[in-house]
């Protein structure tokens, strides 16, 4: 299967792959962050929105939401799920919006889909341009120095009389600004088994360097990757939540 197949012909399996993700919990945490750090505005943009599961919750919170993703099949699903939201097909590394927004979110480590530091820098500049003064950029990230190249996360479920297995893992060679996300999907029925292997190029960066990229535009806060508690990052883990308030 070709690279990035998940986001083309396998987009119909994306929600199944993410069934163990608590979208409501993540969205509510981000909402609390915006209440604490934001400008009290209600215009929201979700980068790499996928099929709109986070957007759905922000609509429930009373926001006017826009979802942005590079993949149109994902956006088609999102639009059906969230008819009150607007969805745009754009690359997050060089996107534009018609009007500035109050809050930008980027969940599920999707900030890393910027392939390399130059793309990440472009993305951050676009985010700064898209935010109103005092606006908040919320995202989670992984520090390249903590990636251990293990087998990753795996889960299984049954859907439409087929057994599915999903597995994803980070891969980093130990140097440079590039890493990959490996995804394996297996679908087994009583008569045959299909397996897809997918690979996504991702940016690799340390938290120190990521903060340095943000500081020209934002006041930066880093929190532990715990969606039940808002506590400062203890600098001992490789996963964290970033909150960047536009200066």
Q: For 190-202, how does the pLDDT look when each residue is reduced to its tens digit (9 = 90+)?
A: 999 999 888 889 9
Residues 126 and 64 in one domain: yes
Q: Are residues 27 and 95 in the same domain?
A: yes
Q: Is the pLDDT of residue 228 over 80?
A: yes
Count: domains in the chain = 2
How sure is the predictor about 11, in pLDDT bands with cuts at 50, 70 and 90? confident
Say what the pLDDT of residue 3 is.
42
Crossing angle for the helix pair 72-81 and 53-60, nearest 10 degrees? 30
Nearest to 168 by CA among 151, 180, 183, 179: 183
Q: What is the CATH number of the domain that holds 100?
A: 3.40.50.150
Instruction: Let me know whether 196 and 154 are in one domain.
Output: yes
CB-CB neighbours of 32 under 10 Å: 12
Residue-number span of the structural domain to which 87 is assigned = 18-144+205-246
Report the DSSP beta bridge partners of residue 173. none
What would the pLDDT profile of 35-66 be if each residue is shown by its tens digit? 999 999 999 999 999 999 999 999 999 999 99
Q: Per-residue confidence at 1, pLDDT binned at 50, 70, 90?
A: very low
Q: Is 141 exposed, middle or buried (0-12, 13-18, 19+ CB in 10 A)?
A: buried
């Amino acid at each position: 299967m070709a690279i990035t197949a998940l986001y083309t012909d396998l987009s119909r399996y994306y929600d199944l792959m993410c069934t163990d993700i608590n979208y409501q919990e993540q969205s509510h945490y981000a909402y609390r962050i915006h209440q604490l750090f934001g400008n009290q505005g209600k215009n929201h943009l979700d980068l790499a929105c996928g099929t709109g599961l986070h957007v759905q919750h922000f609509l429930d919170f009373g926001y006017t939401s826009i979802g942005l993703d590079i993949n149109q099949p994902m956006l088609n699903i999102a639009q059906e799920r969230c008819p009150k939201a607007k969805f745009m097909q754009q690359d997050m590394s060089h996107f534009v919006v018609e009007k500035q927004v109050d809050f930008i979110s980027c969940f599920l480590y999707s900030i890393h889909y910027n392939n390399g530091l130059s793309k990440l820098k472009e993305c951050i500049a676009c985010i700064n341009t898209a935010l109103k003064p005092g606006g908040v950029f919320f995202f989670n990230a992984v520090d390249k120095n903590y990636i251990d190249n293990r087998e990753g996360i795996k889960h299984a479920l049954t859907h439409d009389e087929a057994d599915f297995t999903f597995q994803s893992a980070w891969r980093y060679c130990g140097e440079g600004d590039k890493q990959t996300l490996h995804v394996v999907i297996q679908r087994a029925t009583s008569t045959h088994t299909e397996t897809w292997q997918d690979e996504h190029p991702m940016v690799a960066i340390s938290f120190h360097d990521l903060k340095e990229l943000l500081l020209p535009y934002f006041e930066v806060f880093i929190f532990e990757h715990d969606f039940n508690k808002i506590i400062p990052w203890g600098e001992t883990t490789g996963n964290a939540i970033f909150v960047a308030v536009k200066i």
